[in-house]
Amino acid sequence: MWLQQNRRLMALQAEYAAALERDAQLIAEAIGATAHRGTLWLAAPKGKLARWASASTQYQSVRQMKRVPTGHDSPWISGEAMGAEKVTLKDVAKDDRVTPHWRSALAIPIMVSDGVLPSFAAAVVTFGLESTAVAAWERQEEWEATARDLSRDWGTRLSDIAFYR
């Protein structure tokens, strides 16, 4: 997965950034709160996740990408969601003077498959939300289908590049 995505890094950066921008709008509409900075975190070597694409950034090299640990004890919500393979939503402490400002973060794990072996978590998409985690969880029924659709769409997109092209 990692190698195939990286082989097309320059071509995929603009495509993924645009998709993440659209996805942030879909999540915002479903949750009823502004969503910021849709980001794709891709499984990287040595048990890490790399911030591979973002609505606000286009990387020129994999060396520029932030890498975070995965697992239930990861200090990053993306790493936690990857380790648990479940949607994670948490409040975040962020200085109110920093813009854009968000109060919580939503992380959606992405499952990929080669069509033969069982699917596995290989990526996570995250969004900063202007609502609190409690307020967003109260509206879970309204946004969980959107989260499922985004996970499926990203899983298909990543699987196609890794296993079928």
Contact at 8 Å (CB) between 125 and 40?
A: yes
Report CA torsion sign: 118, 24, 41, 18.
positive
pTM of the entire predicted model:
0.93
Cα(125)–Cα(107) distance, rounded to whole angstroms? 6
pLDDT category of residue 96 using cuts at 50, 70 and 90: confident
Query: Percent helix, strand and coil across the chain, each rounded to 5?
Result: 45, 25, 30
Closest by alpha carbon to 119, among 149, 74, 152, 146? 152
Residue 21 domain boundaries: 2-164
What integer pLDDT is reported at residue 95 of this predicted model? 74
Number of structural domains (the chain) is 1
**Which CATH number goes with the domain that contains 38?**
3.30.450.40
Amino acid present at 1:
M
What integer pLDDT is reported at residue 58 of this predicted model? 84
